[in-house]
Each structure stands twice: as C-alpha cells, then as structure tokens.
Structure 1
Amino acid sequence: MATAELVLGLLSGGAAHGYDVKRGHDAWFPDSRPLAFGQVYSTLARLERDGLVEVAERTAGGGPDRRVFAITEKGRKHLEDWLADPVPPAWGTADEMLRKLVAALRTGGDPTAFLARQRANHLRRIRELQDAPPAGDPTAHLVRSYLVAHLDADLRWLDSALERLTDDKETS
C-alpha cells in the first residue's frame, strides 16, 4: 500500500497532527485494516526527511512535543505524479492465498481443506461488508464495492481451483 502517498493526500486538505492523519485514513478506508500510529509517525518522519512535508507548528505539553505537519510544494508535486501514474496490473504476482495453496500442494498438506476454509472466510467477509451499510461518505461505497468485487473474484478462483483439484484427484 502507498502509505506515504495517502498521508500526502490527507495533508493536502490542510495541516494536521499525526493523530488526525490516522483518523483521516481510517475514515477514508473504514472497511480496511486501521493504520497503526507507529506507521503514521514513521511515514511522517520519512516524508519530512525527504522534504515532502514540514512541521508547520510545534506545541509543548506535558509529554513529547506535538507537531502539526503540512505538505510542501515538493510533496504536492509528488502526490500529483502518483495520482497520474496508473497502477500496473498484477501480472504474475502471488498473494498469500496462492502461496499457501502452492505450499499445501508441494508439502503434502490438504489443499482442498485449505480452499474450503479460505472460501468460508471470503464468504463471511462479503456478508459482513454487505450487511453493514457504508458510511455516508460517497467514497465509502466505492471502497466497499471494490472490496466485494475482489472477494467475489477470489471466490470464483477458489471454486475453480477446488474443481480442478477434485478433477485431478479423480483422474489419478
């Protein structure tokens, strides 16, 4: 995931504390894994080091200094370039699900049991996403439909893989 670019996108709306960046990310992607605070602050540190953000304000309190970060012109240009660059299709990549299936096949594991558990997990996640209405934000529906479409595509592949393994077992 392009965390740095998402942080720049969040800061493009105005300067913010790291806490606000995290909350903003989690609001943009409510159905995804929340962004960890540690990841926010390490990303902000890298962006600051690279001149893509700067500290706009520093306040001292009872604990560590609280810093407000703002995107720089260099950061705006970086964000603009990132948004203009299409994402390449994932040709030949193997995500964890495929890696586990291949490992089960190659190590004598039970690939059909793995596929059945994975299928049940995907169905459960689709139901969760479909049962809870997306937030009022217009982008929430886009994010939700994207997730469901990808889970549905994975389900079709899981069914195809299970069918192929069953057919191969019967012809052996």
Structure 2
Amino acid sequence: MSASFVLLGLLSSGPKHGYELKRAYDRSLPNAKPLAFGQVYSTIGRLERDGLVERAGQDRDGGPDRVTYELTELGRQTLDEWLGTVEPPAPYVSSVLLAKVVVALLTAEPERAGSYLADQRAAHTTRLRELTRSKHDPTANIGDVITADFTIAHLDADLRWLRTTLDRVAELHQETQP
C-alpha cells in the first residue's frame, strides 16, 4: 500500500496537519501496517515537493507549530487517476506462511510441516473469530467493518489452502511410510 496515496485520500476531505493525518490513518486503516509519525512527515514533504499538497496554514494551539496541508489541483488529479486505475493481480506469491511450509517439506520432514500447518490453522481460526466479533462492535465504523471483511476473506482463503495442504502432506506422509 502506498502511504502517499492514502495521505492524499485523507486530505481530500479537507486540510489537516500531520498529527490529524496520523490519527485519520489509524482510524481508517486499523489493521494496516502502522504508519509512523516520521513517515507521515517525510511523505508529506515529498508530496509537497512534487506539488501534490501545499501548506494551507499554521497554528500553535499551545504547543509546537502545526503546519496544515491541503491537496493541490494536481494532487486531486493524481489521486483520481490512482483511484481509477485497476490494480493488476499480484504476479508473485509472497507469503511467510507459504515459505515455511515449503521449507519444512524441503527438509524432508512432512510431520513437521503437518504440525506447523495445524498450528497455523488454529491461529488463523482464532484471528477469524476475533475479526468476526469486531464487526459487531457498536463502535466499529465502516472502515473497521470493510477492513475486517477484507482480512476475513484472506484468512478464509488461507484456511482453505491450509486444509488442502494438510491433506497433501498427509498423503505424502502415507506414501513415504513403509
């Protein structure tokens, strides 16, 4: 995920300073990779350099100076283009889960792979239940719910893959046993 485009999207509703952007990011994408304050400010600096945002004001409010930023017309156009571009399906599989299973199988230890898969399946199931409950939390906003839906769909796909892989590992184990 590109922090630049998320910050442009957050600024599309109006000017904000760095702290407000960080809070809005955390609120809007609660299950995403955390965005550090330093990353917010360095990203805003690049967006400003590229003419996508500009300073809209500055206030002090009892603490250090806070610079407020807003989208420029170019920033709005860039955001619209990004939102209008279809994301191609990922060409490569990048998953620690897959890597661990493959490595366990490469070490000729199907029992180890089977044990790892069973443990991972239990962890996925626990997380799936947590997310399902979180969707019914009265304080959950639409961002929380759709993020939970997205994560649940991916966990569900992982669980189907884990089940299929457990079956394949069990078959392999039976074939290797005399």
Q: TM-score range by the shorter chain?
A: 0.7 to 0.9
Distance 2:92 2:146 in 1: 26
What whole-Å deviation, never above 9, does each CA across 1:122-146 have from its counterpart, x for those lacking one? 1111111112225453343222212
**Matching residue of 1:42:** 42
Distance 2:141 2:166 in 1: 38
Structure 2 matches for 1:88-167, cutoff 5 A? 88-107=88-107, 110-132=112-134, 133-134=136-137, 135-167=139-171
Task: Name structure 2 gaps, 5 residues minimum.
Answer: none
Distance 1:92 1:35 in 2: 25
Q: CA deviation at 1:45?
A: 1.6
The residue identity in structure 1 corresponding to 2:118 is: A
TM (normalized to structure 1)? 0.87
Q: CA deviation at 1:87?
A: 1.1
**Matching residue of 2:5:** 5
Distance 1:113 1:37 in 2: 40
Distance 1:19 1:70 in 2: 14
**Matching residue of 2:80:** 80
Give the count of matched residue pairs.
172
Distance 1:62 1:36 in 2: 23
**Matching residue of 2:58:** 58
Tell me, yes or no, if the aligned pair for 1:54 and 1:70 is still in contact at 8 Å. Answer: yes
Q: Which moved more, 1:87-96 or 1:143-152?
A: 87-96
- % identity of equivalent residues: 45
Q: CA deviation at 1:63?
A: 6.4
Larger radius of gyration: 2
Task: Name structure 1 gaps, 5 residues minimum.
Answer: none
Tell me, yes or no, if the aligned pair for 1:11 and 1:70 is still in contact at 8 Å. Answer: yes
